[in-house]
Amino acid sequence: GENVEQHPSTLSVQEGDSAVIKCTYSDSASNYFPWYKQELGKRPQLIIDIRSNVGEKKDQRIAVTLNKTAKHFSLHITETQPEDSAVYFCAAREGDTDKLIFGTGTRLQVFP
């Protein structure tokens, strides 16, 4: 089955700096890679996703890149703000199934 690894587990940045979170996956048949943001005590919510026929996708200050050959994908947040502080989870859909397998999460702290 699919295995998703995520790094780093914690990340601290100064407001205005960029943050990068990286994930690797094991199932070469995976074709859907979403990112979820979970604020303290809240539910995870989708912030951006990418499918395997695309190498990069941007939405304002966030972007995701995908390298299918290397089986890794990354989340990039530019011009970070204190409200970006949260736990971010990457995920991969396993093969042709509907199973979404999550990484272990990255706790991002943005200091003013």
Partner 1 sequence: DAGVIQSPRHEVTEMGQEVTLRCKPISGHDYLFWYRQTMMRGLELLIYFNNNVPIDDSGMPEDRFSAKMPNASFSTLKIQPSEPRDSAVYFCASSPGMAGELFFGEGSRLTVL
Contact residues: partner 1, CB under 8 A: 1, 31-32, 34, 36, 42-46, 49, 51, 89, 93, 97-105
CB of 86 vs partner 1, minimal distance in Å: 14
Contact 109, 87 (CB under 8 A): no
If the CB atoms of residues 25 and 44 are measured against partner 1, the closer one turns out to be 44
Cα-based angle 84, 68, 25 (whole degrees, multiple of 5):
65
CB of 36 vs partner 1, minimal distance in Å: 8
If the CB atoms of residues 16 and 46 are measured against partner 1, the closer one turns out to be 46
If the CB atoms of residues 32 and 76 are measured against partner 1, the closer one turns out to be 32
Pick from 7, 4, 6: which is nearest to 26 by CA? 4
CB of 44 vs partner 1, minimal distance in Å: 5
Contact 31, 51 (CB under 8 A): yes
Query: 108 is written with which tokens?
Result: 């991002």
